């Protein structure tokens, strides 16, 4: 195992890896899996040069162990989340009838369909009673016309 530009063959105990952000930048913005770490291995000299340039450098074996634990926990989180997500995906992924437009749902229940709610009907009934009780214009005598 040897890194880019280095011909020295390394054992895993001697190898160094740059931080994940640096590996992602070197990989063109694509995420880096633990199986791809061998492409980014550095010998001690090149690791020291990167450290002087301001890049964090970590031991290869420890980084691989950390990355594998992280991938396993991400997989476990996905498996724990999947049954919950499947409830929504199953309902929304059913084929949609694209041929005919859907008919609007018809309202059901008491008091529906008359156009007015129960309270509006009560208000209308009160207004009707007041109109019946109030004297009409024909029943009210005209005041005497004033002479000018």
Give average pLDDT by consecutive 10-residue segment, the chain, 148 residues.
64 85 87 82 86 88 86 86 72 58 69 62 83 68 63
- Assess if residue 135 is contained within a domain: no
- Assess if residue 42 is contained within a domain: yes
- Assess if residue 59 is contained within a domain: yes
Per DSSP, which regions of the chain are E strands? 16-18, 57-59
Which residue range forms the structural domain that includes residue 76? 16-89
Position 93 scores a pLDDT of 52
- Assess if residue 114 is contained within a domain: no
Predicted TM-score of the model (pTM) = 0.45
Position 26 scores a pLDDT of 86
- Assess if residue 34 is contained within a domain: yes
Characterize 108-145 residue by residue with b for buried, 16 or more Cβ atoms within 10 angstroms of its Cβ, and e for exposed: eeeeeeeeeeeeeeeeeeeeeeeeeeeeeeeeeeeeee
Position 1 scores a pLDDT of 54
Count the domains in the chain.
1
Position 142 scores a pLDDT of 62
- Assess if residue 85 is contained within a domain: yes
Position 121 scores a pLDDT of 75
- Assess if residue 27 is contained within a domain: yes
The end-to-end CA distance of the chain, in Å, is 122
Position 135 scores a pLDDT of 65
- Assess if residue 148 is contained within a domain: no
Characterize 48-83 residue by residue with b for buried, 16 or more Cβ atoms within 10 angstroms of its Cβ, and e for exposed: eebeeeebebebbeebbeebeeeeeeeeeeeeeeee
């Amino acid at each position: 195992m040897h890194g880019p530009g280095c011909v020295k063959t390394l054992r895993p105990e001697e190898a160094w890896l740059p931080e994940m952000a640096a590996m992602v930048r070197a990989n063109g913005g694509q995420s880096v899996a633990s199986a791809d770490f061998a492409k980014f291995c550095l010998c001690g000299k090149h690791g020291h040069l990167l450290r002087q340039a301001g890049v964090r450098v970590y031991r290869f074996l420890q980084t691989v162990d950390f990355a594998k634990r992280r991938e396993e926990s991400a997989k476990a989180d996905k498996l724990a989340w999947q049954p919950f997500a499947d409830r929504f995906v199953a309902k929304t992924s059913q084929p949609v009838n694209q041929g005919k437009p859907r008919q609007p749902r018809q309202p059901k229940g008491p008091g529906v369909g008359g156009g007015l709610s129960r309270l509006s009907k009560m208000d209308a009934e009160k207004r009707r009673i007041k109109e019946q009780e109030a004297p009409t214009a024909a029943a009210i005598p005209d005041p005497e016309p004033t002479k000018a």
